[in-house]
Amino acid sequence: MQHSCGAASGPIPALLPATAPLTQSLLFFCLSCLFPGTGKTHLSIGLGIKACMEDYKVFFTTVPRLITQLRECRSQKSLRTLEGRFEKFDLVICDEF
């Protein structure tokens, strides 16, 4: 059996040098749900901690929680308020669970 994941197999510094500004999106994903434990959450948390250490403002949430917030804001017609909350962060990490 084989599985393929979206994160490179090289060291993280090769992905994000310590001096890299947070100006791009980074997505970790696995093409097969049959193989959990590929390290996506671990990498995301590590990058979030590193960003905090570099004085970036970081917000960590889960996709289900984000979807719930989006639905609630849409029903209350306050989606712009939710967008405003995200704008104050330099890095937003959405984990799958």
Give tens-digit pLDDT for 12-67.
Answer: 444 455 555 656 666 666 666 656 777 888 888 888 888 888 888 888 988 899 89
pLDDT at 8: 42
In a domain, 1, yes or no: no
pTM: 0.66
pLDDT at 10 > cutoff 50: no
pLDDT at 68: 92
pLDDT at 4: 35
In a domain, 5, yes or no: no
In a domain, 51, yes or no: yes
In a domain, 6, yes or no: no
pLDDT at 7: 42
In a domain, 45, yes or no: yes
In a domain, 53, yes or no: yes
Q: Which domain holds residue 36?
A: 12-17+24-95
In a domain, 85, yes or no: yes
Domain count, the chain: 1
Q: How would you classify residue 55: left for phi > 0, otherwise alpha for psi between -120 and 50, otherwise beta?
A: left
Distance, in Å, from the CA atom of 68 to the CA atom of 86, rounded to the nearest integer, reads 15
